[in-house]
Amino acid sequence: MELRTYGDAALRRKTEPIGVINDEVRELCKLMIEVMIRENGVGLAAPQIGISKRIFVLDANEELYVFINPELVELSEETEESREGCLSVPGVDASVARSSRAVVEGLNVSGERIRLEGEGMIARAIQHEMDHLNGNLYFDHISTARRQSLIKEFQRKQREEDE
């Protein structure tokens, strides 16, 4: 399964909820974990592999999490700014302000309700993956000028790779 990169329309679509957790959904989750690990990512959302479904996987606290139909249930008012990158926008990163604490709830592959509370890097990863499910990318949180510069840098690096 190919990782989608910036410019692919799949990354900008709002995802659809999963109705039934069946073998097909479980297989998709397994595949997403494999892609995340292969690409050395912390998380991966279904749109990043071209699937417009509300699923993301996360490697946090030395554990792999699968969130089906996740919802952010809490974000701290306190924010912190840190460098952030994305598997779908390789080779570039930017300083992004995010809530310093986040709580997400959803279903696991067995259909059981799960919850993850995180601070720092985990909170950032939760918010980043939730953005993907809503058709947003991390650089949507920075100034227009900085975003345009980042996109030009990404496109230049992509052209260099293609040569």
How many structural domains are present in the chain?
1
pLDDT at 65 over 90: yes
pLDDT over 90 at 152, yes or no: yes
List the 101-107 sheet strands across, edge first.
43-45, 55-60, 63-75, 101-107, 113-119
Domain with 80 in it: 9-162
Please give the pLDDT value at position 37.
96
Which residue in 81, 129, 160, 161 is the catalytic one?
129
Residue 25, pLDDT above cutoff 90: yes
Those residues whose C-beta lies under 8 Å from the C-beta of residue 5, and which sit 6 or more positions away, are 11, 88, 89, 90, 158
Q: Residue 4 domain-assigned? A: no
129 is catalytic: yes
3 part of a folded domain: no
**Quick one: pLDDT band at residue 1, thresholds 50, 70, 90?**
confident
Give the integer Cα–Cα distance in Å for 120 and 71.
19
Would residue 2 count as lying in a domain? no
